[in-house]
A and B are shown apart, each in its own frame.
Chain A
Amino acid sequence: MLQYALRRILLVIPTLIAVAILVFLVLRVVPGDIVEIKMTAEGGIVSQEEIERERERLGLNEPLYKQFISYMVGLPQGDLGISLWTERPVAQEIGSRIALSFELAILSTILAVLIAFPLGTISALYRGTGLDYVIRLLTIGGIAVPSFWLGMLLIMGSISVFGKLPPLGTVSLFEDPLTNLYQLIWPALSVGYRYSSVVARMLRSSILEVLSEDYIRTARAKGVLERLVIVKHGMRNALLPTVTVIGLEFAFLLGGLVVTESVFNLNGIGKLFVDSVVRNDLNLLQGLVLTVATCFVFVNLIVDLLYAALDPRIRYQK
């Protein structure tokens, strides 16, 4: 196990380097000129000279390879450059918002797993019954409903039931945990529905697959209690692909938040992401894409390690 874990952890380094290079290459072909847009947006007519001076100051006139070197050297030190718009360090802009998005992601994961496990299991065990059909329709629906619209419906529902908007904006978790939770539960629910649907569908199909295996028949033939057959022989094996899906979806959740944060007016990295595109703030966009990709790489790592812990066969594979 230790050997597998070490090998897997070491693999993270080249992946991250490749991601960093790819992000740099892609984002430097941007055609829009940030300096021009920014200056004309602020004060109308600006002379070409002034634009040049600003470009010089921001280091945009350096040859590409020099920009690349300073970018790659800065990365390990957590230096993502400065935001071209607010002129504050990108790392700081992201750092001040990532906690909120992360909390939201974790909250939706918990909600999703809590909803998905009973749904998926019931749907598999009562296959073909009316209950199964209802759950399946619900979960196909979960993949179809846009999460931002679900968020809007929640807001609308809150208005018609309680006569007021759900609390928008946030208080820190550490200042006032209850208010914080009450504020975040709505956006978490609106992204969590899709999440739980994906997990429930996966769980259902993998339980069904496992239950048709020979060793389940053997266990039943031996007279093992049905409950034990399902929990010990069935669920444990069905968990493997489900864990992968939970991990994958967690990473993709960070993407889904981009839209949902706008609905609930939350100041997380999703909203920052949209702002960075609207303002053509390359450095910030670059930093955000890197952050999201890094999260994904680490979530993948955790999933792989968990997988190896759950399934001994994987540890011994070359």
Chain B
Amino acid sequence: MGNVETLIQLPGGRIGGVDKRILYRIPYNVLTNSPNNFVDIPANSSSPFTSMTISGEGPCEIASLSAERDSACLVFLQIQNGETQSGLMNRAVHIDTIFGNGQRQYWLPETLYLDELRTMIASFTDLQGGANRAALNMGGCRYLQLQVDPYMEEIRSRLENRQYMTTPYWYTLDNGDVTIPAGTTVQETITVGQRCHFQLCNMTAVATSMAFDINIVDISRGESIIDAPGNSNRAISAGLCIGNANYPFKFHESRLIQVGQKLLVTLTDRSGFDNRVHLTLGGKAIENMMWR
């Protein structure tokens, strides 16, 4: 997006000084609102929706996700824009598939714009059967004192306008997670919503064992995402094409899946035990039509 360079470069590589505008920009971390920086999650149930709000000093561009949690849980993220709420995922996803940690952040495929009227909302669902806690941290930068500087205001308006066209988005299986009985094959679907195209950028999963094979087929086109259109449509080992939030598997070419299309996900266990799989496809939701 718009950029402010720290140094004013002069011809010949000389440095003319430090651009004052750099003071209008600071790194910023958006957390669940105090005093709920750690959100308590009751055993086997969901936490209340918790807001992640910033004040009116200036908008924030979010680019990375990291979290600390006591034990495994699902997370569901929504964005509230004025009166409108919209999800950033089709269902709750496993926290370890989209939130990294302080050492290895999960970098969003698309930055997210927040201001005082545009708030993130998170809720969690415990998976371990005990009292659980989670603390989210969304890292980015904040633009301050924009009104006094037309140049900075231009950056802000470009950031904001972009959010009406595209946001980060995640898809998991239509039924959430799936348990593959030992040594067998199951088929699940992922249905892309009716409002936005989905640009698939990365793939992450948490599973009892990564010893399973996977194939994902775009049903409308009959093409495998895993094995490429012209090939024999074969499944490959999950360990070769799926990462986690710290090290997501990134596609060399992202793939656009149109509104309303279905993906058929075929999973075959190789571990010899029942295998519970939380699969998350990460990418961008791209508006199908202008709604503003």
Q: Do A and B originate from a single complex?
A: no
Chain B residues within 8 Å of A, Cβ to Cβ: none
